[in-house]
């Protein structure tokens, strides 16, 4: 059929208007003009400032599940550990006391700098400043321990005595705090201010749900960090010889109840750590991760306001359940990637601020490759400590 010039002009105008409305006009056939929907546009990347806003941040797609009800934490976040995409968050960048979740940053900082094997003889001076009411693994001055056992004391018993000893091996308390501050900045964690490396309540010491998720994600890249964080229990030396060999041991258990199922808290399927905490200032805190169907999620929960001592686990459980159900059904509200590496979607490698930029990539415990290029930041931590109750 031959169209007259006037009809062709009208169809041309209609096509232009339809294109602006997201409609594709198909060529005329047998005297008809068919309209079909245009392909959906890709979602715009999240506003970099979105996670800095107060309240809940969520970008649902069609069919997305509702967020869990009755979340009472002052701050929380759930993210995909592989891509770094933040799926939802509440007050993600609010600075709050972190309690023993600060030990994640301590381990990220000290593990790469200390020997992974060997022994160390504990001194009185190394234990002198352990705070009253601290959680302890039970180190004795004058006794020789395997370095690996000291790390088990950090991750399982949340032992502040073990942190003090390892910090002394790492150059001292103030040096370790400064290196932790630099490590946080290198990872793009800008909310954290380190005063006490063990997480003991100290004036000015804060972190955030966002930063703790960054630390947990980076920790999963270090095979030793990931292995210690996933241990449910281990024997610990009660007495040792000069070579650090125990003559008898006692059992220690991870304080993360989602991992152990203690105190009536059900275990979470696929849980792989990472660290919980409690102090009188921080309340109950937790950064944890779980793997399901080849996907690893991180959840951070800080200071639930209802539900008692174990609410932190139940709120984390609810967030992980939601995150797995929301796969492909929400747009990200942010990223755990440092701003400098965000365009390439590279994952940060666990390493100290002095680690060589040419270090070879490590394979993460989540199954993702984590490259090495991160620039160290700078920071100085204060030395004055405010002694409070610090249990995990």
Instruction: State pLDDT tens for residues 138-181.
Output: 999 999 999 999 999 999 999 999 999 999 999 999 999 999 99
Q: What pLDDT score was predicted for residue 43?
A: 60
**156, 100, 160: which is closest to 134 by C-alpha?**
160
Confirm if 59 and 331 have CB atoms less than 8 A apart.
yes
- Computed over every residue of the chain, the mean pLDDT equals 83
Q: What is the mean pLDDT of residues 99-109?
A: 98
Largest CA distance in the chain: 102
CA atoms within 13 A on the CB side of 70: 8
> Is 358 labeled as catalytic in the residue annotation?
no
More confident residue, 35 or 268: 268
Stretch 57-67: mean pLDDT, rounded? 96
- Work out the pLDDT band at 300, boundaries 50, 70, 90: very high
**Which of the following is catalytic: 64, 134, 135, 158?**
158
Token couple for 340: 């400098």
Residues 35-49 as b/e (b if ≥16 CB within 10 A, e otherwise) read eeeeeeeeeeebeee
Task: Check pLDDT > 80 for residue 355.
Answer: no
The pTM assigned to this predicted structure is 0.78
Active site residue 388: no
Task: Measure the CA–CA gap between 196 and 212, rounded to whole angstroms.
Answer: 16
Cβ count within 10 A of residue 328: 7
Q: How many residues does the chain have?
A: 392
**Which residue out of 64, 103, 207, 392 is catalytically annotated?**
103
Catalytic residue among 64, 75, 100, 208: 100
**H-helix or E-strand spanning residue 156:** none
Q: If pLDDT is split at 50, 70 and 90, which confidence band does 299 have?
A: very high
Instruction: State yes or no: is 100 an active-site residue.
Output: yes
205, 195 contact by CB (below 8 A): yes
């Amino acid at each position: 059929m031959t169209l007259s010039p006037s009809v062709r002009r009208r169809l041309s105008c209609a096509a232009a208007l339809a294109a602006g409305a997201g409609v594709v006009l198909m060529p005329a056939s047998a005297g008809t003009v068919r309209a079909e929907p245009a392909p959906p546009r890709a979602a715009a990347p999240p506003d970099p400032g979105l996670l800095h806003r107060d309240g809940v941040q969520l970008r649902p797609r069609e069919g997305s599940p509702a967020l869990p009800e009755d979340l009472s934490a002052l701050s929380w976040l759930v993210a995909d550990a592989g891509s770094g995409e933040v799926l939802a968050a509440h007050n993600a960048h609010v600075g709050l006391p972190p309690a023993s979740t600060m030990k994640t940053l301590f381990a990220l900082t000290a593990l790469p700098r200390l020997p992974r094997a060997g022994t160390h003889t504990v001194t009185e001076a190394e234990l002198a400043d352990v705070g009253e009411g601290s959680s302890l693994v039970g180190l004795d001055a004058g006794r020789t321990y395997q370095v690996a056992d000291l790390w088990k004391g950090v991750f399982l018993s949340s032992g502040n005595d073990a942190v003090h000893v390892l910090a002394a091996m790492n150059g001292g308390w103030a040096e370790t705090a400064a290196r932790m501050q630099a490590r946080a900045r290198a990872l793009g964690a800008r909310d954290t201010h380190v005063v006490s490396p063990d997480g003991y309540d100290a004036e000015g010491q804060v972190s955030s749900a966002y930063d703790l998720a960054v630390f947990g994600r980076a920790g999963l890249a270090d095979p030793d960090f990931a292995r210690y964080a996933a241990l449910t229990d281990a024997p610990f030396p009660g007495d040792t010889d000069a070579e650090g060999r125990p003559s008898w041991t006692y059992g220690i258990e991870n304080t993360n109840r989602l991992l152990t199922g203690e105190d009536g808290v059900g275990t979470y399927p696929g849980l792989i750590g990472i660290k919980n905490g409690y102090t009188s200032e921080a309340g109950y805190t937790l950064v944890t991760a779980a793997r399901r169907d080849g996907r690893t999620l991180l959840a951070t929960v800080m200071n639930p306001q209802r539900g008692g001592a174990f609410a932190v686990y139940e709120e984390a459980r609810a967030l992980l359940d939601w995150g797995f159900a929301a796969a492909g059904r929400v747009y990200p509200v942010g990223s755990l990637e440092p701003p400098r590496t965000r365009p390439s979607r590279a994952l940060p490698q666990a390493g100290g601020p002095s680690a060589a930029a040419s270090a070879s990539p490590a394979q993460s415990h989540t199954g993702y490759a984590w490259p090495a290029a991160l620039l160290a930041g700078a920071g100085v931590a204060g030395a004055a400590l405010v002694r409070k109750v610090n249990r995990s």
